[in-house]
Structure 1
Amino acid sequence: MIASFVKHKVDNFEAWKKVYEEFSKVRKEKGVIGASVLQEISDPETVIVVHEFDNLDVASRFFESEELKNAMKNAGVQGQPEIWIGNVKERTPF
């Protein structure tokens, strides 16, 4: 399994979250199998999104998609996001 961590600033968290939620069907179609949204405590307009994918090819296609780029633009994402992608070696539910 692959996990991605995307950190970016947004114009307005609530407006961003609305677009993110509307994009859920596309995320699923593009191979996202799990997601979490984090809002930075000290800066509520900084968002970290964690997505899970079956493999790196699916994750790469997702991040290269025009649909994602357009959604991020419409959501008020500022500048280029920081993206980190890694292999999930262990996942432990508590």
Structure 2
Amino acid sequence: MTVALILHRVADYDAWRKVYDSVGDMQKEAGVTQEAVHRMVDDPDNVLVIHHFADADTAKAFFGRPDLREAMERGGVQGQPRVELFE
């Protein structure tokens, strides 16, 4: 199993969350087996997303998807997300 930790800042959490929730089917189709979203206590527009995958290759393919990048843009992700993969 591979766990992906994705840390990024968003322009507006509520707007971002609507887009995030709208791509749940895409996440499942791409191999996300579990997911969780957390907000920084003192900075609620600083978001940590945790995704679980069967393996690292599936995770890497997911983060290379153009539709994921487009969804992140629509959601107001600011700057380059920090993505870390763990096994």
TM-score under structure 1 length normalisation: 0.91
- For residues 12-68 of structure 1, give each alpha carbon's deviation from its aligned partner in whole angstroms, at most 9, with x where no partner exists: 000000000000000000000000000111100000000000001100000000011
Shift of 1:9: 0.3
Q: Determine the C-alpha separation between the residues in 2 that align with 1:67 and 1:5.
A: 19
Q: Which residue number corresponds to residue 84 of structure 1?
A: 84
Q: Sequence identity of aligned pairs in percent? A: 37
Q: Determine the C-alpha separation between the residues in 2 that align with 1:72 and 1:41.
A: 22
Instruction: Find out whether 1:71 has 2:63 as its counterpart.
Output: no
Matches within 5 A, 1:3-42: 3-42=3-42
Q: Which runs of 4+ in 1 moved over 3 A?
A: none
RMSD of aligned Cα (Å): 0.4
Number of matched pairs: 87
Instruction: Name the SS of the counterpart of 2:43 in structure 1.
Output: coil
Instruction: Name the SS of the counterpart of 1:5 in structure 2.
Output: strand
TM-score under structure 2 length normalisation: 0.99
The structure having more radius of gyration, on CA atoms, is 1
In structure 1, the gaps of 5 or more residues are: 88-94
In structure 2, the gaps of 5 or more residues are: none
